[in-house]
Each structure stands twice: as C-alpha cells, then as structure tokens.
Amino acid sequence: MTWHPLWLSLEVAVIATAISLALGLWFAWLLVNREFTGREVLDALTTLPLALPPTVLGYYLLVVLGRNSWIGRAWESATGAPLVFTVKAAVIAAALHALPLVVKSSRAALESVDRACERAARSLGATELRVFWKVSLPMARRPVAAAAALAFARCLGDFGATLMIAGDIPGRTQTAAIAIYDAVESGDATTAKWLVIAISVITAAIVFLANRLERRRTSAA
C-alpha cells in the first residue's frame, strides 16, 4: 500500500487551514466591527458551504474555476496549466469547506473580547490593524486556535467537493478520504484499514486539542 494519499491530505489540510483562517478571520472581523451594505449577504455566503451538499459546492467551484470560466482561463494563461484537477484545486475545495467553521468560531471569539480593551487601544492611538493584531487576536487566541484545529480536521476529511474539482488521480490528487473510498470499492482492505486508522488517530488528537483550548479559555474567564 502507499501512504501518499495521507501525506497529500496533510499537505492540503495545512495550506487550506492557513487560507481559511486568514480569510475567515478577515470576514469575522468585518462582520463584528463594520456596518456595511451586504453585511447580511457576506454572513449568508460564508455560512453556505456548511449547508450545501459538498458535491453542489464542488459543482459551483467547477463552474467558477473550470477551464471555460474566466478565472480558469486567466489562471491557465498566466501559469500555462489548468487549475482544476490539481492539488491547488483540492486546497481551494478544502479551504472553502472549512471556511464557515472558521468564520463562525472566530466571530464568536472576537465578539467575546472585552470591548473596553479594544476601545482603550483605539484611544491610545492604535490603528484598527494594530488593535486587531495586538489586542483582539491575542485576547481571542485560544478559541481561534481551537477553530483552526477543527478547521484542519475538516480540511483533512473533505470528500465531495475535492472529488468534484480535484478529481481522483492516484499519486496526484487522490487525498486520503478519496483513497479510502477507492480502496473499499476495489477491495483493498489493508489500505482502507490503515488510512482509516491514521485519519482517526489524527482527527481524535485534533479534537482533543481543540477541546482543551476551549476549556482553558472558559476556566480563565
């Protein structure tokens, strides 16, 4: 058997978590701190990937990023290779899959930060960016870290959207979740078993870590 799908999954999950965390924190900050037109729309859009079936999400991604879409064409003319059915596409699918979780948790985390501390920082001459980096985010670091851990687990386990947009190319875009499905389909019980065990152990460790992060926050408060 090959461990390639597991390594690929971990690689995809690390990058996708970083992307969804960056985007998610930004969206969460906007939703908490800014009144703007389209706020409700942003709120709904960032929740949608959670509610939609992953295959539907994958279909939309194909439409938006596929070789006939303008993004897909722009990418292809810039890099010389299509975006879909690559590891990059798998990263996009996973990041999008994890985004609602990051936005929701980060929003709750940022809302729980003592308003007075942020106001104090502003009155001391800090810009919004500095308030966020030096005060809000450090004060919300535990719940945000917990959200990142869960987002990582979610990235690790994405199946539907990844299959739709990155495909199932063994050795190239076949992530662990897809490889398990393939292995079961083709009767390769050993591969399926070991991948399942590996994914389970990693996910369990992450959930444990996330819970600890959450718990220590509540006891400190």
Backbone angles phi, psi at 84, to 5 degrees: -70, 155
35 vs 185 by CB, closer to another protein:
35
CA–CA dist 158, 160 (Å, integer): 6
- 171 burial class (0-12, 13-18, 19+ CB within 10 angstroms)? exposed
136 vs 191 by CB, closer to another protein:
136
Size of the site for another protein (CB under 8 A): 17
Contact 122, 131 (CB under 8 A): yes
Binding segment toward another protein, per CB under 8 A, in 15-23, 109-117, 160-168, 207-215: 109-117
Answer for which of 135, 148, 163, 213 binds another protein (CB under 8 A) is 135
23 vs 145 by CB, closer to another protein:
145
Answer for which of 1, 2, 74, 114 binds another protein (CB under 8 A) is 114
DSSP per residue over 156-198, as a string? HH--HHHHHHH---TTTT--HHHHHHHHHHTT-HHHHHHHHHH
53 vs 138 by CB, closer to another protein:
138
Residue 122 in contact with another protein, rule: CB under 8 A? yes
Contact set with another protein (CB under 8 A): 114, 116-117, 119-127, 134-135, 138-139, 141
